[in-house]
Amino acid sequence: MAIIVQKFGGTSVGNLERIANVARRVARCHDEGNKVVVVVSAMAGETDRLIDMAKSIKNPPNEREMDVLISTGEQVSIALLAITLDAMGYKARSYCGWQIPIATDRAFTAARVTDVGAEQVLKDLNDGYIVIVAGFQGVDPDGNITTLGRGGSDTSAVAVAAGLKADLCEIYTDVDGVYTTDPNITNKARKLHRIGHEEMLEMASAGAKVLHIRAVELAMNHRVRLVVRSSFNDNEGTLVTEENALMEKEIVSGVTCNIKEAKVTIAGLKDQPGVAAQVFSALADAHIVVDMIVQNVSADGITDITFTIPQADLVKTLELCEKVKEPLGARAVFGSDDIAKVSIIGAGMRSHSGVAARMFSTLAQEGINIEMIATSEIKISCVIKKKYAELAVRALHDAFGLDKVG
């Protein structure tokens, strides 16, 4: 008997009717002879309702108490699903994070899972129970309730699957799987049957919202077989798996686009050790997450650094950079939020030359100027003007033949 972890998000459990749909799907998997563990999020809108209530008292609210508050959303979901399965004649038991336990560190509102207890769940599964686990929440070493940050239920599901050494972890969502690009941008977007962990990770960090980044990291590190599929139909979904399990690597698996970043340039910096550290330490202290960083070869001991950050942090970042400008002897600080980051991702890039060249020439043919370039082993990202974002995605999707089954 296989152990299967199924995760359902907030939209899938948004009302009692949808919870009944989830229950039928879970029951079917159980009837097929599997041991089923279900991880659920809060009903859609509930977490926001609780956050708004807390913020109307104080913004930001006390973080420890915030976690006590918002973890109730998932607790309601697990109970309602268990009551529904019980009403259908199935044996079901729900567990909060502290009961499993899903052990985390002490970082309230953004905790990381350190360990997952398997004993009670395995006992229940052997006794014929469907086990239901609250996503998004855990318990710290002092017995305080913690939560894993927005989208954390994906991480809960993978952590539970890893802890149980489950055969499969299915992430049910409102899309059919992982696509070569956003189907809203081009109708040529094609669902991938398989994608490697690292590719998925780059896709997620480059802006594809289908899976939480930390969930992919965890799946990669613990070799969890992960499937992304729709909770509204029976389509096959996308298998996220180890790279070397892929028979034939596609050169490029997907094109992503992120229009929610801004870029900042510090110009005329002295090119000497410790300069970059001073800039990015100041940003880290202000909890500003930096994405791309580009620094070019220096001419005459003077260099420019350009980096991207979330748009919402642009004003704050410019202020901070103005403060360090003088001590660092920089010439100027400027920024813009009129940018889009377009990325192509594919494990096959490693062994195929010319991928970058084809990307740059494709953009050039469309008359799109490239403002920044950053590369990893399996990803190339270009920052361009925001107005060209969709044009670039469609052109690259065509250029790499992503509409054709690989």
**Residues in the site for a copy of itself, rule: CB under 8 A?**
16, 20, 50, 53-54, 56-58, 61-62, 64-66, 68-69, 71-72, 75-76, 78-80, 82-84, 86-87, 92-94, 96, 98-99, 143-145
Query: What does the DSSP assignment read for 146-194?
Result: EE--TTHHHHHHHHHHHHHT-SEEEEEESSSS-BSS-TTT-TT--B-SE
Task: Kindly tell me which of 71 and 156 has the beta carbon lying closer to a copy of itself.
Answer: 71
Task: Kindly tell me which of 87 and 286 has the beta carbon lying closer to a copy of itself.
Answer: 87
| Least distance to a copy of itself, CB of residue 147, Å | 12
Q: What DSSP designation does 406 have?
A: -
Residue type, 276: A
| Least distance to a copy of itself, CB of residue 18, Å | 12
Nearest to 141, CA basis, from 164, 121, 112, 161:
112
Sequence-distant (6+) residues with CB within 8 A of 209 are: none
| Least distance to a copy of itself, CB of residue 153, Å | 17
Report how far residue 166's alpha carbon sits from residue 396's, in angstroms, rounded to the nearest whole number. Answer: 37
Report how far residue 290's alpha carbon sits from residue 261's, in angstroms, rounded to the nearest whole number. Answer: 10
| Least distance to a copy of itself, CB of residue 360, Å | 51
Query: What does the DSSP assignment read for 235-280?
Result: ---EEEE-GGG-SS--S--EEEEE-SEEEEEEEEEE--TTHHHHHH
- Could you give the angle at which helices 152-164 and 119-126 cross, rounded to 10 degrees? 70
Q: Assign 203 to helix, strand or coil.
A: helix
Task: Kindly tell me which of 71 and 173 has the beta carbon lying closer to a copy of itself.
Answer: 71
Task: Kindly tell me which of 92 and 228 has the beta carbon lying closer to a copy of itself.
Answer: 92
Task: Kindly tell me which of 71 and 303 has the beta carbon lying closer to a copy of itself.
Answer: 71
Task: Kindly tell me which of 56 and 244 has the beta carbon lying closer to a copy of itself.
Answer: 56
| Least distance to a copy of itself, CB of residue 1, Å | 24
| Least distance to a copy of itself, CB of residue 57, Å | 5
